[in-house]
């Protein structure tokens, strides 16, 4: 496979931005499929896709589509990704991979049984800054990592009470939308084993978590303190503290362009500082993105295409077992703070 032919399942804002990433990466989009032909056609025209189709079923059946990007709402990730896998397509599914571990495990098992590529679209993991952080940690120059502190917060759309962020039927809330970024940072640093989890949250009258905090502890490695909120604007910095210094990811840390390494000079409180800057790529002419820094979608497109070219069934930079661990942590958080989605049976979140 020289370059995979993409199908975009969905036509909302995130699909626009991912499709712009495909085009900016030099890839090709065979088709856009949406719940109506008019929605699909509008996005297909913007990103110069070969065609638009008016149903998801038609998209996954398209013989000219090799890999499907699933960009629908959280609660539809399982049925839409499952549909694509059952049609024999590789899948890149927007985060979260599903709304709980049970659903995510179903997708992982299905992809493995069919010998198909599956990746959760955790785009942060593929930014050059994130890769540089991993390189420095692996080198050991700062010693072992011991603690992570990170935040992510913005004021949610308070004026729109029907927005999906406030809707349990859409698996709305802070954790699945933005808390997940912080959890994956912690697992990137400390690995995909399950930590102990302590959680607090503020819930809306409808039971949606609009603010949460996590304390994660890997007894043999380190700990993470994470704050995520739809009630306040936060700096969105992240700090990884190690034995011989620390790394600061400057905000917005989920789409990082700049980081600073502070290496201990041997004198307490004195550090040697080194900055690293990786500006966002430029979009292809005529393209626009909706979410801030979505020019960086290109990085995960290239990562997925590289995996497909090398005939890998999962991405080593964000393996499926790590996606499952992140889901387990988020499930534990929801159990502790009392958030349940109507789509879940009483035994779904185990």
With beta carbons less than 8 A apart as the criterion, state whether 93 and 106 touch. no
Q: What is the pLDDT of residue 347?
A: 33
Range name among 43-52, 109-118, 161-170, 234-243 with the lowest pLDDT average: 161-170
Residue 294 DSSP label:
G
Least confident range from 89-98, 155-164, 300-309: namely 155-164
Rounded (5°) CA angle 45-300-69? 50
Exposed / middle / buried, residue 270 (Cβ in 10 Å: 0-12, 13-18, 19+):
exposed
Rounded Cα distance between 222 and 241, Å, is: 10
Q: How far apart are CA 209 and CA 165, in angstroms?
A: 9
Q: Is the pLDDT of residue 1 over 80?
A: no
The edge-to-edge listing of strands for the beta sheet with 196-203 is: 196-203, 209-218, 222-229, 145-153, 238-242, 245-249, 258-264, 271-277
Q: Is the pLDDT of residue 163 over 70?
A: yes
Compute the distance between CA of residue 309 and CA of residue 112 in angstroms, rounded to an integer: 18
pLDDT exceeds cutoff 80 at 23: yes
Contact yes or no for 41/52 (Cβ under 8 A): yes
What backbone phi and psi angles, to 5 degrees, belong to 126? -105, 0
What's the N-to-C CA distance of the chain in angstroms?
39
Q: Give me the percent of the chain exceeding a pLDDT of 70.
A: 98
Average of per-residue pLDDT values in the chain: 96
Q: What pLDDT digit, counting tens, does each position of 303-324 carry?
A: 999 999 999 999 999 999 999 9
Q: How confident is the model at residue 348 (pLDDT cuts 50, 70, 90)?
A: very low
| Model confidence, pTM | 0.96
The pLDDT tens digits for 266-284 are 888 899 999 999 999 999 9
Contact 150, 185 (CB under 8 A): yes
Residue 57's nearest CA partner among 27, 89, 29 is 89
């Amino acid at each position: 496979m020289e370059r995979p032919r993409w199908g975009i399942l969905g036509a909302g804002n995130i699909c626009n931005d991912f499709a712009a990433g495909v085009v900016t990466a030099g890839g090709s989009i065979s088709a856009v499929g949406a719940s109506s032909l008019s929605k699909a056609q509008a996005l297909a025209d913007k990103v110069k896709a070969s065609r638009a189709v008016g149903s998801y079923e038609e998209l996954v059946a398209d013989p000219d589509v090799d890999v499907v990007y699933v960009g629908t709402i959280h609660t539809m990730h399982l049925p839409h990704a499952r549909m694509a896998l059952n049609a024999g397509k590789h899948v890149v599914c927007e985060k979260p991979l599903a709304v709980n571990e049970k659903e995510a495990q179903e997708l992982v098992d299905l992809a493995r049984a069919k010998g198909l590529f599956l990746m959760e679209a955790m785009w942060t993991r593929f930014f050059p800054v994130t890769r540089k952080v991993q390189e420095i940690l692996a080198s050991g120059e700062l010693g072992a990592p011991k603690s992570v502190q990170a935040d992510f917060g913005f004021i949610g759309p308070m004026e729109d009470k029907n927005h999906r962020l406030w809707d349990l039927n859409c698996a709305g809330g802070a954790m699945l939308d933005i808390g997940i970024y912080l959890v994956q940072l912690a697992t990137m640093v400390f690995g995909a084993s399950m930590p102990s989890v302590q959680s607090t949250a503020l819930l809306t009258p409808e039971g949606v978590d609009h603010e949460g905090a996590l304390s994660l502890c890997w007894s043999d490695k380190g700990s993470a303190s994470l704050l995520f909120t739809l009630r306040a604007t936060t700096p969105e910095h992240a700090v990884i503290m190690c034995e011989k210094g620390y790394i600061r990811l400057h905000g917005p840390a989920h789409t990082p362009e700049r980081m600073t390494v502070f290496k201990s000079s041997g004198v307490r409180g004195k550090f040697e500082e080194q900055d690293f800057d990786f500006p966002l790529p430029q979009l292809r002419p005529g393209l626009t993105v909706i979410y801030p820094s979505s020019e960086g979608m290109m990085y995960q497109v290239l990562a997925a295409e590289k995996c497909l070219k090398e005939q890998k069934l999962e991405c080593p930079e964000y393996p499926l077992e790590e996606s499952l661990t992140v889901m387990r942590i988020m499930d534990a958080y929801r159990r502790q703070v009392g958030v349940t989605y109507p789509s879940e049976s009483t035994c779904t979140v185990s």
